[in-house]
Amino acid sequence: MRNLILTFPSQATEAVSIGNAATIKLKTAKIQNIVITGLGGSAIGGDLLRAYLADKCAVPVIVNRHYYFPDYVGKNTLVIVSSYSGNTEETVAAYKDAVKRKAMIFCITSGGEVEKMAKKHKHPYIKIPGGLPPRAALGYSFFPTLIALSKLGFIKDQKKEIKETLVLLQSLSARYADHDAAGNQALNLAKTLHGKLPLIYSGADKFDTVNTRWRGQITENAKTLAFGHVFPELNHNEIVGWEVLTGLMKQIHVVILRDKEDYKRIQLRMEVSKGIIAPLADSITEVYTEGKSLLARTFSLLYLADWVSFYLAMLNGVDPSPVKKIDFLKEELGKVK
């Protein structure tokens, strides 16, 4: 897993090349919504696109994590079928449902049943390299799809933002990989989280998916539970829960993901909430984005999460790569058709 994280900047660069080389020919003039269907690591790529494109795309982008689609999906919907392995059972079922609904479809996959179906139905698809844990293939699921949506005319060209992001990732890789460096932010945060229950807070609009990714990487790589919520919603419910279980609360370390462009009232809510939580929790760590563009800032936090989860796995004495409980669950589900 360390090597996969270390070389993520190279993966992102390759993914951009794949996206640039891909040919997706679809008549999209009548498209009213875009639905990305996928699970796990593939769905995270879709969620990132949803958040990133919220103020860049004229039609809504929605992520579907189910065996079928909501009723509004039809001939004026662009369905993006995203399955890294190509065999995710929910995604394969949703693909069949999209065909029945006569939606416009293109796919992104490394092969499997999704590739077979794309060939059968003559749907355009982007083939990405296989053989990785899906959570380690985020670059492959995100960048080609982003570029495809630009080619299809849904968003403006993102070359400048992508270039900045790739340069920043290379810089961060060198910084976080040096486990002997006293100022290694990823390692230091992992040490702080070791033996604690991580609770991730962030703003809701641009960074809710980054929040989800932090929790997912910690649970899958470090094999420890992690929870989270977003502002302002948590100020209307969860904040009240910081009251009764004082012993448990002292085992919670809060990580607040912050961005220079967080909405002003959200910034205020974060400050006031810190004052409420600080005396009750183990402690609070604030993590800030790096970079100029939203894309670079988003990936700065995503990449930090990768390294934090890896170092936390090392401190926990566990191999970050296997996901035995997920494998067992799939085996049990596979027994029932």
> Could you say which DSSP state residue 156 is in?
-
Burial pattern 109-122, b for ≥16 Cβ within 10 A else e, equals: bbbbbbbebbeeee
Q: Assess contact for 32 and 252: CB atoms under 8 A.
A: no
Report how far residue 294's alpha carbon sits from residue 181's, in angstroms, rounded to the nearest whole number: 28
By 3-state DSSP, what share of the chain in percent is helix, strand and coil, each rounded to 5? 50, 15, 35
> Residue 157 is encoded by which pair of tokens?
């060209």
* Residue type at position 190: A
Give the count of beta carbons closer than 10 Å to the beta carbon of residue 132.
18
Burial of 329 (0-12, 13-18, 19+ CB in 10 A): exposed
| Distance between CA atoms of residues 14 and 249, nearest Å | 43
Number of residues in the chain = 337
CB 253 within 8 A of CB 198: yes
Catalytic residue among 27, 236, 335, 337: 236
Distance between CA atoms of residues 290 and 269, nearest Å: 22
Q: Tell me how far apart the alpha carbons of residues 248 and 261 are, in angstroms, rounded to a whole number.
A: 33
Catalytic residue among 220, 223, 229, 253: 220
196 part of the active site: no
Instruction: Report CA Rg, the chain.
Output: 20
For this structure, is 236 an active site residue?
yes
| Amino acid identity for residue 16 in this structure | V
Is position 123 annotated as part of the catalytic site? no
**Residues designated catalytic:** 220, 236, 330
